[in-house]
Amino acid sequence: MKRLVSVWLPQWPIERLKRHRPGAVPDDRPCVLVAGGAHGIRITAVNVRAAREGVRAGMSLADARAAVPILVSHPAEMERDARALTRLALWLGRYGPSRNVEGEDGVWIDTTGVAHLFGGEAALMEDLVRRLAGFGITARAGLAGTPGAAFALARFATVKRSAVLAPAGEAATLAALAELPVDALRLAPETVVLLRRLGLARVGHLAALPRESLERRFASEASSRSRAGQVKAKALAEAVLVRLDQALGRTEEPRAPLGEPPVLSERRSWGEPLISSEALVSEVGLLAEDLARALKAAGLGARRIALSLYRADGTVAHADAGMARASAEAPHFLQLLDAKLSQIDAGFGIDVAVLDAVSAEPLDPEQTTLGRGGAAPEQAIAALIDRLANRLGAKNVFRLAPRASHIPEQAAMRMAPLAPFMENSGLPGAAPAERPFLLLSPPEAISVMAEVPDGPPLRFTWRRVAYAVAKAAGPERIAPEWWRQLGEAEILASDDGLDGEAIDPGQREKTRDYYVAETGDGARFWMFREGFYGAADQSGQPRWYLHGLF
């Protein structure tokens, strides 16, 4: 069952400024942050001392100074606050890999399956609040099974405690939220006012009311209004029910986690936007050199790079490339990006370019070749694989390794091109009989004429073309892997209460007899007959298939 933590930072802008500029926010004087707007300079955040003096966010600075003459003010730095909050969210990954910022003063963390590492959910939240307090950051935390419930607990249930948790389950969640004000459901201010006017001030009041009754109450409140007012009232009622369902887990509320920042990033900008493709390739080449130098200085090699090109009209073009092995070579970066650059339209020009090393790993120093040789063979192969993978798609570039199976189509498996080769992954013993260069997937049904039912083919028809067999070799008998079928029988028996032997014979794999058939003009075909004539443990007659070409 999912468990999430909502972390509320009620003093975030003030405390962020205090950490950045320790002397800017005195502890013994009221202090506020302000921002200009259409109605003059307004207060956006207050410290604890200012709040005690009655100063609130949203007040005009003039009114606040009239009431508190010793008030200290600083310009609000909302962009810096947002960037610092994102960095804090990344740091909070210690409590769960999926997390993101929540509004302007909060962070959510998915702690599913993590709490036991801290000694339980209560210990996890205690550790979180304590560590943030050590950084000089006031935090309130709520833990529940839904984002909405965790949000409500963190912001409305932490008056006396710094952390509150709701046990798992809808009933337990409702019990934890019942006494909280309806504001806790993340409703619009006008909706909260309307609910209070209807006597629904707490979440418990709202949850106890039948859904149809809530819609009727909203409609009656709007009965004297216009048609548009009634429609709006119904929409508000639906919004309330959605928020309630999200908080109680009746409706899923998807959350997008925060993407990890790049390992290294390089940026170039130009006063005159780049228009020509030649200039763009040249500048991206310089950017690749910058990133390569930074990677080498850090002892790293990139496994994936991402290029972002910011156009003068405000749009962004992206190109990325992956590498089979870590690299810190600028020519290789440019070679991988070059094909994608040719497909990018510069539009009104590109004035900023950013190249990120999205993922990287330690780059071990290695000798290439002695004398006048170029790159080592392994490096050349890796470079070729990178070019092919970025042009054809990574999933389309692979190598085959043997697998321990007699079934031809299961005797090989796909592996990453540079993955270590497993020497003993195939079957032990002698090598199998001759195999065709091409396997058909899946095998194609053919019609066959034989001298005797269980004999080799004399004639066959494939894709509406008839072939006469000059000579045939075989059969090579390949039996089904009975141990896999036995496992399936046990699964059926445990799931359905059936005897493992009572499987439909038509669903069983059948023994195959393979033949190599050669026509008069030298064409060779690999075909098999599936099943036996007159076998009691199979349904239907044996069938022929073409499986490969030599």
pLDDT tens, 471-491? 999 899 888 877 665 554 444
The answer to whether 225 touches 233, Cβ cutoff 8 Å, is yes
Query: Of 41-45, 158-162, 359-363, 383-387, which one has max mean pLDDT?
Result: 41-45
Residues 9 and 107 in one domain: yes
Residues 446 and 520 in one domain: yes
Mean per-residue pLDDT, 356-369: 74
Number of domains, the chain? 4
So what's the pLDDT on residue 140?
95
Residues 269 and 301 in one domain: yes
Alpha carbon 238 to chain centroid, angstroms: 31
Give the strands of the sheet with 264-274, arranged side by side.
264-274, 350-362, 300-311, 316-327
| DSSP category for residue 157 | S
Establish if 402 belongs to a structural domain: no
Residues 144 and 237 in one domain: no
Establish if 418 belongs to a structural domain: no
Task: Tell whether the torsion through CA atoms of 202, 203, 209 and 211 is positive or negative.
Answer: positive
So what's the pLDDT on residue 11?
93
Mean per-residue pLDDT, 24-29: 85
So what's the pLDDT on residue 60?
92
Rounded CA gap, 234 and 247, in Å? 20
152-160 long-range CB contacts below 8 Å, 24 or more apart? 152/177, 152/180, 152/184, 152/185, 152/186, 152/203, 152/247, 153/6, 153/177, 153/180, 154/6, 154/7, 154/8, 154/106, 155/6, 155/8, 155/184, 156/180, 156/181, 156/183, 156/184, 157/184, 158/8
pLDDT(320) > 80:
yes
Establish if 423 belongs to a structural domain: no
Residues 39 and 129 in one domain: yes
Residues 349 and 475 in one domain: no
Establish if 466 belongs to a structural domain: yes
Establish if 398 belongs to a structural domain: no
Residue 298: which domain range? 264-365
Last residue of a domain, one of 332, 365, 398: 365
Rounded CA gap, 470 and 459, in Å? 9
Instruction: Return the CATH number at 352.
Output: 3.30.1490.100
* pLDDT-based confidence at residue 346 (cuts at 50, 70, 90): confident
Look over the chain and give the mean of its residue pLDDT values, rounded to a whole number.
83
Residues 185 and 153 in one domain: no
* pLDDT-based confidence at residue 495 (cuts at 50, 70, 90): very low
Rounded CA gap, 371 and 352, in Å? 41
Last residue of a domain, one of 154, 174, 194: 174
5-19 pLDDT per residue, tens: 999 999 999 999 998
pLDDT(376) > 70:
no
Residues 25 and 124 in one domain: yes
Last residue of a domain, one of 174, 208, 235: 174
So what's the pLDDT on residue 161?
86
Establish if 76 belongs to a structural domain: yes
Rounded CA gap, 199 and 336, in Å? 65
Residues 309 and 347 in one domain: yes
* pLDDT-based confidence at residue 504 (cuts at 50, 70, 90): very low
Mean per-residue pLDDT, 279-303: 91
Residues 170 and 187 in one domain: no
**DSSP output for 235-256:** HHHHHHHHHHHHHHTSS----P
**Burial degree of 252 (CB within 10 A; 0-12, 13-18, 19+):** exposed
Establish if 127 belongs to a structural domain: yes
Instruction: Return the CATH number at 110.
Output: 3.40.1170.60
Residues 243 and 272 in one domain: no
Residues 444 and 513 in one domain: yes
37-63 pLDDT per residue, tens: 777 899 999 999 999 999 999 899 999
Structure tokens at 100: 């993101």
* pLDDT-based confidence at residue 377 (cuts at 50, 70, 90): low
* pLDDT-based confidence at residue 497 (cuts at 50, 70, 90): very low
Rounded CA gap, 139 and 5, in Å? 12
